[in-house]
Amino acid sequence: MDQKRWVYTPKEINVKRGVAYGLTDLMGGGWNNIVSGVIFAYLTLSVGLNPAMAGAITGVARIFDAIFSLIFGTITDGFYKTKLGKKYGRRHFWMLIGLIGFAISFLAFWVPATSIFGPGHDFVYYLTVYTLTELFVGMILIPWETLPTEMTTDYTKRTVLSGSRMFISATGTSLVFFILAILQSLPSAAAKKNAYLFAGILWTILFVVAIFISYRMTWERPLTKEFIAELDARPKLTVGQYIRETLHDYGQTFRNSAFRKHLTIYIFSFTGKDFYATLLPTFIVVCLGMASNIPWVLNAFAVFGILSTLIAAKLMITHGPRFLYSLSYIGIILAMIAYGLVYFLHVKNPLTVLIIITIIYQMSRGILEFTPWNVFPFIPDVDHIMTRGDKAGTYAAVMTFFRKSTGALATWLAGILLEELGYVTNATHQSVGVTDRVALVFMIAPIILIAIALIVSWTFKLNRQTHETLQAEINRLEAGGNKSEATSETREVVEELTGHPYESLWPDQTFEERQVQKNK
C-alpha cells in the first residue's frame, strides 16, 4: 500500500475544506426532493404511468435501498483488507464506483423508455433504473458520512466539516426545483416537451461535479500497522451475524421512551411532508388547472426554509424543541387548510395566494427538518443512563432506516389512493368529483399525519433543562456516586425520559463489558 497516495494524505481543515466535503449534500438534499417531489409527477404527468404503478416504482426501490443500507456500512468497514481498498481507500473506492454508476443510471432515468425499448416496457425500465440509482446514491452517501471521523479526531474540525451540510442541502433543494421551473417556463414547445430530460442532464452534471470535488478533497485515516491492528481486533461477524446483531440492537432502542416519542414525531411529520411533495404537482396541474411549471415555481420557494432554519437555531436555545414542533406543525396545518380553501372556494388567478401559502409552508418545513436532528444528539444520553453504552450510531441508523422505509410507503400509498379515487393519468377531463377527492386527500392526509406528530410532541419532555438534570446525574454516577443519593426531582426527570424505574437504570457493568462477557 502506498501511504503517500492523496486518499491517505491529511490536509488543513478549514471552511473551504468543509464546503468541499459538504458539496456531496447538494446531491443528498436535491435527490431526496427529486424522489419525493419530482419523480411521481414525472412518471404520471409526463411518462403516463398510472399513479399506483408510479408509486410502486419508488416504493419498491426504497425498500431495497433500506435493506442495502443495513449491510453496506459493514462492507466498507472491512474493505481495507482488499487490494482495491488499500490502494483507493475503503470509503473512497465505493464513492467513486457509486459516482460512476449514479452518473449513468440517474441520467438514463430521464430518457424516455419508449425511445430505447419501444412501448410497453415503461414500468420495468423505470423500476430497474430507479432502483439502481437508489443503490448508487447509498454507495456514495454511506461512506461519505463516515469521512469526518476518518479525517480528524478533533471535535471542532469535525463540526467545520459537517456544518456546511445543512445549507448546501437546502441549496440543492432550491436548485432542483428552480432548474425545472425555468425549463418548463421556456416558450419553446420542444423545451417544454423535453423539460425533464434537460433538467436531468443539468442535475446530473451539477451533482457529479459536486460529488467529485468532495471525493478528491477528502481523505481517510492512513492504514498504519497500528490502525490495521485496531481494525482487526474488532469482532469478526459474517453478514448474517451482522444483520442479526443489528436488528437486535435496533429493537433495544425502543426501550427508550424519549426515543420512541422522538421517532414517532420524526416519522409522522416527515411522512406528512412526503405526501405534500408527492401530491402537490397533481393538485396544482389537475385540480387547479394551472400550468405544468407552477408546482416547480412554488417548490423553488424552499429557499425560505433556509431563513426559518436560522431562526430555529436561535429558538431551539431560548424556547426548546416543543415550541419549535408546535410552531412548525401548526404552520403546516394552516397552510394545508389554505391550499384546500383555494380549491374549494374557486379562487380566481390564485398564484399570488399560493405563493404566500407556500412561503408559510416552506418556512414551517424548514423548522420541521431542522428540529429532530438537533434534538437527536441528546437521545443517546438517555440510553447511556439505561445501558451505560455509547450507541449514537445505532440510534441514527434506526432513524434513517425507518425514514427510508416510510418515505417509500408514502409515495406508494399516495399513488394507490389516486387510482382508487378514480384519477386517470393524462386524461383531458377527469370524471365528475375526482378532482374534489384528490384535493381532499392532498389537504387531509398531511394534516392527519402532522397532527399526530403535534400531539405526541406535546408529551415530549427532553429539552435543555431536563437534559442538564440527566447529564448531571450521569456525571455523578460516573464519578462513583451512589444511586440511593439521587434527589426526587432527578429521579422523576430520569424516569420520565427513560420510561423505566430509576432503580433499574445504570447497570453495574458497562455495555462493552456485557458484550465481552456475552461473546465469551
Grid cell listed for 517 = 462477557
* Claim to verify: residue 125 and residue 145 sit in the same structural domain: yes
Phi, psi (degrees; rounded to nearest 5) at 121: -115, 10
Four-point Cα dihedral 170, 196, 427, 288, nearest 10: 40
Number of domains composing the chain: 3
Q: Are 382 and 258 in contact (CB under 8 A)?
A: yes
* Claim to verify: residue 37 and residue 129 sit in the same structural domain: yes
Distances (CA, A) of 467 to 375, 377, 459: 11, 11, 15
- Residue 230's pLDDT is 67
Q: Are 491 and 502 in contact (CB under 8 A)?
A: yes
* Claim to verify: residue 183 and residue 294 sit in the same structural domain: no
Q: Which H/E stretch holds residue 36?
A: helix 24-37
DSSP secondary structure string, 466-502?
HHHHHHHHHHHHHTT--GGG--HHHHHHHHHHHSS-G
Residue 476: CA count within 13 A, CB half-sphere: 14
Report the chain's mean pLDDT, rounded to a whole number. 87
Residue 91: CA count within 13 A, CB half-sphere: 22
* Claim to verify: residue 459 and residue 474 sit in the same structural domain: no
- Residue 239's pLDDT is 66
- For residue 244, tell me if it sits in a domain: no
- For residue 488, tell me if it sits in a domain: yes
Domain endpoint, select from 421, 448, 463: 463
Averaged pLDDT, 199-225: 92
pTM for this prediction? 0.82
Q: Which amino acid is at 81?
A: K
- For residue 241, tell me if it sits in a domain: no
- Residue 167's pLDDT is 73
Averaged pLDDT, 137-151: 84
Reference 413, options 40, 118, 73; nearest CA is: 40
* Claim to verify: residue 445 and residue 475 sit in the same structural domain: no
CB within 8 Å of 505: residues ≥ 6 apart: 385, 386, 483, 494, 498
- Residue 516's pLDDT is 54
Q: For residue 98, give its domain range.
A: 1-234
Averaged pLDDT, 3-7: 76
CATH code of 379's domain: 1.20.1250.20
Say how many residues make up the chain: 520
